[in-house]
A and B are shown apart, each in its own frame.
Chain A
Amino acid sequence: MEYKYGIAVSPGVAIGPALVLDTEGVLIQHRTVPPDQVEAEVVRLQKALDEAAEDARSTRERLTAKIGPTFGNIFGAQASVFQDPGLRSQVETLIRIQYYSAEYAVSRVIRDFVKTLEEAARKIPEHSRAEILRRSAEFIDLERQVLANLLGHPTDTFTNLTEPVVILANDLMPSDTADFNPRTVRAFATESGGNTSHTAILAGALEIPAVVGIGRFLTDVSGGDMVIVDGEEGVLIIDPDEDTLRRYEDKRIALLSRVDRYESIRDKPAVTNDATPVPIRLLGNIELAQEAEHCLERGAEGVGLYRTEFLYLNKTADPTEEEHYSAYASVLHKLGPSRPVVIRTLDLGADKFSSLSGTVAGEKNPFLGLRSVRLCLRNLDLFKTQLRAILRAAVHGDVRVMFPMISTMDELRQCKTLLNEVKEDLEDAGVPFKRDVRVGTMIEVPSAALLADFMAREVDFFSIGTNDLIQYTLAADRNNENVANLYQPSDPAVLRLIQMVVQAAQRAQIEVNVCGEMSGEQLFIPLLVGMGLRQLSATPRKIPEIKQVIRVLQVTEAQEVARRALGLETARQVSSYLREQLRRILPQAVD
């Protein structure tokens, strides 16, 4: 039995047999072979490469006959790579010398090529970069074809799992986690990653227990070993003994019954405990279409934050308008015509993906760099494609569009102008769309909070993104352990900015929402309601907990909590005051 400690990113406990993934996320069950199987492995490799070359050649002939040699020859080049003597000898050497399995050896060699090209791409002028990155993406495509032949089945294994497993990997690509079916993937644990990594957010969204950032452990575990993932404490236990298994089975059942308790308040209204109950609108934060169901299951009144980054990640090409449209439309169909759905436009850091045109690789300070709406305003085609799809999808429901990371009035106005241009284009083209969608801005940069009164004149609503607001206000990255202690939602500077934004919204009579992690914590609910918030948006899983606080809270006492908290000087004082108040208001509160 072995304990491994990491970062808990998605709660719950799961027990099951391990499925170990190769470091690059491809399902490779055996990394090495016994010495006496080396020659058989080389033969297997040659066969797989020959098959891939044969497939490419027959595709070439088919396409040449059908649409001409220009397209056909594309596959001729592919065939030549599969038959490349240089490539073959490199892979064979790894099998013979390192006893690597054919799969692992192919993957290592091709990943090295990809790395070489990506490093080269960083050093060359921007206009040539896309071409070189495309070549590296093509290598990955070639790798997949060979692996598919070697493994004898397509590599998208997650969707084909028949028995429940716990997935262990170095890291997972967001597109991998998106295919996880919670019925068969019970949990996952990874060597790398942090609590704000995209994968961690998705694990939370899919409600799969997860622990990340464990450090090297894959060498200590084999596929099929029994493992426990404790997403509450951030622990992975390999090969647990009987006592431990029993203890965790009990814990697992206890956690499930906590979930059931919350179900009992799902259909009760989210109103305060005042003589005249004040409704607080609770909305869900989502990323994937299937999470729309989680919103409904947990009693959310709509979607307060629909993140769209998912559409862009791990793509070799930017998503098409149709891809955007069908993703949005499927969420809207699940939620119906009258529940609000706030779609946030692309909010990716330039560091998150290399395939997007116009991306600046190797920025020294990506969080202060070309990201989010800044990236969109520099890539107008990309931005307009998304805006067109949002406006078109809006005919199916109550869609609102929201711009992230706005830091100046000019940016906000440019976004609005662009939205109007897109409307004109759609109008001219006779494409059905909804003209009067509400427009909002995220307030997540201190400059935007400070200008909230001006910003309020331009938009129909605000949504305060506390995660970034905290990071930019305190100038601290919470994933950097040396400064993570500075990152505190309860810091008085953060509270003051939130208060300014809420007051600006109230004066301008526009809606204001909080959609950062802060609004998902019971601790902050009395404070936020007391500051005047009547809308909160959180991950669907948190909604019953928030509602539980709201239903026992009185607005007058919340206002008193806010008044007192805003008079405190340090984050520590605010937190301990809020804890004390939560214990008073809701004695059974967790933690």
Chain B
Amino acid sequence: MNGPMRRTVRVINPLGLHWRVAEQFSRTAGRYTSAVVVRNGETSADGKSPTSLILLVALPGTELVLEVDGPDAAMAIDPLAAILAAPSGEDYTI
């Protein structure tokens, strides 16, 4: 095993990592068997849990570290990184 795949992603969405992004991200992460972890500095979140993603308090400009660990990691990392890096998402919260 090579250990987890890692990618640093900068949040550019003006609302930061908001509910809709968290929902979309966790839903996508849930489709893969790999473990997905998102780190904001010292804080880390389970990528399959939208609440834990919200608690990262990732503001616009934050550099997040995405870690995907498992058999389908290579397949998962691109779409997951794309969600975090998306420029707008839709402008709403729950």
Measured CB to CB, the residues of A under 8 A from B are 70-71, 73-78, 80-81, 84-87, 113, 116-117, 120-121, 124, 128, 131-132, 134-135, 138
B20 adjacent to A73 (CB under 8 Å): yes
B contacts with A, residue count (CB < 8 A): 24
- A132 with B90, Cβ < 8 A, contacts A81-B50, A84-B26, A84-B50 known: no
Residues in A whose Cβ lies below 8 Å from that of B15 = 131
Q: Counting CB contacts under 8 A, is B94 at the interface?
A: yes
A113 adjacent to B51 (CB under 8 Å): yes
The residue from A70, A78, A117, A138 contacting B57, defined by CB atoms under 8 A apart: A117
A120 adjacent to B50 (CB under 8 Å): no
In the complex, how many residue pairs between chain A and chain B have their CB atoms under 8 Å apart? Answer: 72
B54: min CB distance to chain A, Å: 6
B59 adjacent to A77 (CB under 8 Å): no
- A84 with B51, Cβ < 8 A, contacts A74-B92, A124-B59 known: yes
A134 adjacent to B49 (CB under 8 Å): no
Measured CB to CB, the residues of B under 8 A from A are 15-16, 18-20, 22-23, 26-27, 46, 48-52, 54-55, 57, 59-60, 90, 92-94
Chain A CB within 10 Å, residue with most, of B49, B52, B90: B49
Q: In the bound complex, what is the Cα–Cα distance between A116 and B20 (angstroms)?
A: 20
* Pairs A-B, 7 closest by C-beta atoms: A86-B49, A77-B94, A120-B57, A77-B23, A77-B19, A80-B23, A78-B94
Residues in A whose Cβ lies below 8 Å from that of B90 = 70, 73
Q: In the bound complex, what is the Cα–Cα distance between A86 and B20 (angstroms)?
A: 17
Q: In the bound complex, what is the Cα–Cα distance between A75 and B94 (angstroms)?
A: 6
| A to B CB contacts below 8 Å, 7 in the list | A77-B22, A77-B23, A80-B23, A85-B49, A86-B52, A124-B57, A128-B60
Smallest CB-CB separation from B60: which chain A residue?
A128
Residues in B whose Cβ lies below 8 Å from that of A113 = 51, 54-55
Q: In the bound complex, what is the Cα–Cα distance between A113 and B20 (angstroms)?
A: 18
A80 adjacent to B57 (CB under 8 Å): no
A80 adjacent to B93 (CB under 8 Å): no
Q: In the bound complex, what is the Cα–Cα distance between A134 and B26 (angstroms)?
A: 21
Q: In the bound complex, what is the Cα–Cα distance between A567 and B94 (angstroms)?
A: 64
- A128 with B19, Cβ < 8 A, contacts A74-B93, A80-B26, A87-B51 known: no
Q: In the bound complex, what is the Cα–Cα distance between A71 and B92 (angstroms)?
A: 8
Q: In the bound complex, what is the Cα–Cα distance between A81 and B55 (angstroms)?
A: 12
B85: min CB distance to chain A, Å: 19
Q: In the bound complex, what is the Cα–Cα distance between A124 and B60 (angstroms)?
A: 11
Q: In the bound complex, what is the Cα–Cα distance between A138 and B15 (angstroms)?
A: 15
B94 adjacent to A116 (CB under 8 Å): no
- A132 with B57, Cβ < 8 A, contacts A77-B22, A81-B50, A86-B48 known: yes
Residues in B whose Cβ lies below 8 Å from that of A86 = 46, 48-49, 51-52
Residues in A whose Cβ lies below 8 Å from that of B92 = 70-71, 73-74
Q: In the bound complex, what is the Cα–Cα distance between A71 and B59 (angstroms)?
A: 23
A80 adjacent to B55 (CB under 8 Å): no
Residues in A whose Cβ lies below 8 Å from that of B48 = 85-86
Q: In the bound complex, what is the Cα–Cα distance between A76 and B93 (angstroms)?
A: 10
The residue from B20, B49, B57 contacting A84, defined by CB atoms under 8 A apart: B49
Residues in B whose Cβ lies below 8 Å from that of A70 = 90, 92
Q: In the bound complex, what is the Cα–Cα distance between A78 and B43 (angstroms)?
A: 23
Smallest CB-CB separation from A87: which chain B residue?
B51
Smallest CB-CB separation from B94: which chain A residue?
A77
Q: In the bound complex, what is the Cα–Cα distance between A124 and B19 (angstroms)?
A: 19
B51 adjacent to A135 (CB under 8 Å): no
A109: min CB distance to chain B, Å: 9
Chain B CB within 10 Å, residue with most, of A76, A81, A120, A134: A81
Smallest CB-CB separation from A75: which chain B residue?
B94
B16 adjacent to A131 (CB under 8 Å): yes
Q: In the bound complex, what is the Cα–Cα distance between A128 and B17 (angstroms)?
A: 12
